[in-house]
Amino acid sequence: SGEKARSEPMVVRNFRFQILVFPAGTVSAGGATVSAFVEADPPEGLDPRWVFSSVKYQVALVNWLDYRRTIIKTDTWSFSRDGIDRGWHDLVRCAELSQESGWLGPENSLLFRACCCVRQADGFLPGNDYNPRKETGFVGLMNHGATCYMNGLLQSLFHAGEFRRIVYSIDCDKPQEDGTDPKDGDEGGNPTLIQALQKVFYNLQTSDAAVNCKELMKSFGWDNMDAFTQHDAQELNRILCDRLEEQMKGSDQDGTIKRLFEGEMENYIECLDVEYTSTRTETFYDIQLNIKSEKGHDLHNIEESLREFTADEMLDGDNLYEAEGHGRQRAKKGIRFLRFPPVLNLQLKRFHFDMERMDMIKLNSRFEIPRRLDLSSHAPGAGIYLLHSVVVHSGDVNSGHYYAYIRPNLDDKWVKFDDDNVTPCSEYAAVEDNFGGSDPNVWNYFEPRSEFRSTEPPKRPRIHNAYILVYIREDSAADVLRVPDPMEVNRRMVERCNAEVRLAEQRRREKLESQSKVRINLIFEPHLVSMPGFWDLAHIPAGHSVKMNRDQTAQELIVAAETVLQAPQAHLVCFSVHQRTSNRQVRFSHMPPNAILRDHIPSTGGQFESSDTSLAVLCVAAKGFEQAGWKEGIIPPVKWTGGDSGPDELSRWDDGKFLMLIVKYFCRQKVKLVTLGCFYLPRDETLATMIKEGWVSERLRPYTDSGEIAPLPAQMLDPKSDSSWDCWEEVREREMRHVSIKKPAKSEQLQLMSGDIIVWQQPAPPAEKDVSAKSGEVVPVYAVNTVADLAEHHLNSIDVNVTLHDRRQPLLVDGVVMNGNYGPIRPPTATQDSKTKDGGAAQQETPEEIALSLSRVKFTMPTARELKMDLRWMQVHVTNFIAQEFSLKRAQVPANPTGDDNATFLWLFNSAPSSGQGEEPLNSVTSRASLKDIQRAAPYVSPAGGRKPLNVHAVEMPFRLGPDGLEAGTVAIGVRFFDSTVSEVGSEVVVLSAAGTVQDLLVQASALVQADWGISGSLRALEVADGRLHKLHRPTDPLRSLACFGKSNILFHCVRVEADVDILEGDQQLVEVYHCDRSSQQAFGHPLLIKASPGEKAGTLKARCKDRLRVPEAEFKSWRLVRAGTRQGRVHLKDDEPWDSDAHPDARICLEHVHPNPTSSFARTSRYNKPLTIK
- 1011 residue type, one letter: A
400 pLDDT more than 80:
yes
Task: Please report the pLDDT score of residue 465 as a whole number.
Answer: 92
Task: Please report the pLDDT score of residue 836 as a whole number.
Answer: 43
Q: Quote the mean pLDDT of the chain.
A: 85
Q: In this prediction, what percent of the chain has a pLDDT beyond 90?
A: 44
Half-sphere exposure of 207 (CA within 13 A, CB side): 21
Per-residue model confidence as pLDDT tens digits over 582-637: 777 888 999 999 999 988 887 654 443 444 578 899 999 999 888 766 565 577 78
Task: Please report the pLDDT score of residue 719 as a whole number.
Answer: 72
Q: Quick one: average pLDDT of 1125-1140? A: 79
Per-residue model confidence as pLDDT tens digits over 559-578: 999 988 888 999 999 999 88
Q: Are 1132 and 1120 in contact (CB under 8 A)?
A: yes
388 pLDDT more than 80:
yes
CA gap 602, 698 in Å, rounded: 35
Per-residue model confidence as pLDDT tens digits over 699-710: 999 999 999 999
1060 pLDDT more than 60:
yes
Which residues are marked as active site?
A: 148, 401
Q: Quick one: average pLDDT of 56-62? A: 92
Residue 776 backbone zone (phi > 0: left; psi -120 to 50: alpha; other: beta): left
480: pLDDT confidence band, cut at 50, 70 and 90? very high
Q: Quick one: which H or E segment has residue 327?
A: strand 327-329
Per-residue model confidence as pLDDT tens digits over 958-1010: 988 877 778 889 999 999 999 999 999 999 999 999 999 999 999 999 999 99
Buried b (16+ CB within 10 A) or exposed e, 791-808: bbbebbebebebbbbbbb
Which residues, 6+ apart, have CB-to-CB distance to 1163 below 8 Å?
Answer: 814, 1082, 1169
Query: What own/partner pairs with CB < 8 Å and gap ≥ 24 does 773-781 have?
Result: 773/877, 773/880, 773/895, 777/895, 778/877, 778/880, 778/881, 778/884, 778/895, 779/870, 779/873, 779/877, 779/880, 779/881, 780/870, 780/872, 780/873, 780/877
Q: Quick one: which H or E segment has residue 864?
A: strand 863-870
Segment of 205-214, 354-363, 860-869, 936-945 carrying the highest mean pLDDT: 860-869
Higher pLDDT, 452 or 960: 960
692 pLDDT more than 80:
yes
Name the burial class of residue 301, with classes exposed (0-12), middle (13-18) and buried (19+) by CB atoms within 10 angstroms of its CB. Answer: middle
SS3 content of the chain, % helix, strand, coil (to 5): 20, 30, 45
Q: Quick one: average pLDDT of 827-845? A: 47
Could you tell me how many residues make up the chain? 1175
> By C-alpha distance, which of 366, 399, 385 is closest to 469?
385
Least confident of 338-342, 819-823, 1040-1044: 819-823
Per-residue model confidence as pLDDT tens digits over 660-677: 999 999 999 999 999 999
840 pLDDT more than 50:
no
Least confident of 106-115, 187-196, 402-411, 414-423: 187-196
Q: Quick one: average pLDDT of 312-316? A: 88
Pairing of strands 905-909, 950-957: antiparallel
Task: Please report the pLDDT score of residue 626 as a whole number.
Answer: 85
Least confident of 104-108, 605-609, 848-852, 933-937: 605-609
The Cα-based distances of 862 to 280, 778, 828, 988, 1046 in angstroms read 52, 24, 17, 18, 27
- 131 residue type, one letter: N
DSSP-based three-state secondary structure for 435: coil
Q: Quick one: average pLDDT of 473-480? A: 92
Q: Are 1075 and 1087 in contact (CB under 8 A)?
A: yes
Q: Quick one: which H or E segment has residue 157?
A: helix 148-158
Task: Please report the pLDDT score of residue 1135 as a whole number.
Answer: 86
Q: Are 586 and 642 in contact (CB under 8 A)?
A: no
DSSP-based three-state secondary structure for 933: helix
Task: Please report the pLDDT score of residue 537 as a whole number.
Answer: 79
Cα 376 to the center of its chain, rounded Å: 46
Q: Quick one: average pLDDT of 497-518? A: 85
CA gap 1125, 714 in Å, rounded: 87
Buried b (16+ CB within 10 A) or exposed e, 371-399: eebebeebbeebeebbbbbbbbbbeebee
857 pLDDT more than 70:
yes
291 pLDDT more than 60:
yes
In angstroms, how far is the first alpha carbon of the chain from the final one? 75
Q: Quick one: average pLDDT of 937-959? A: 73
Task: Please report the pLDDT score of residue 421 as a whole number.
Answer: 92
Per-residue model confidence as pLDDT tens digits over 6-58: 999 999 888 999 999 998 888 877 778 999 999 999 888 888 899 999 899 99
Q: Quick one: average pLDDT of 68-80? A: 91
Q: Are 779 and 880 in contact (CB under 8 A)?
A: yes
Name the burial class of residue 663, with classes exposed (0-12), middle (13-18) and buried (19+) by CB atoms within 10 angstroms of its CB. Answer: buried
DSSP-based three-state secondary structure for 821: coil
Q: What is the DSSP letter of 422?
A: E
104 pLDDT more than 80:
yes
> By C-alpha distance, which of 744, 754, 952, 160 is closest to 484?
160
Beta bridge partners of 79: 52
DSSP-based three-state secondary structure for 504: helix
Q: In this prediction, what percent of the chain has a pLDDT beyond 70?
A: 88
Q: Are 905 and 1048 in contact (CB under 8 A)?
A: no
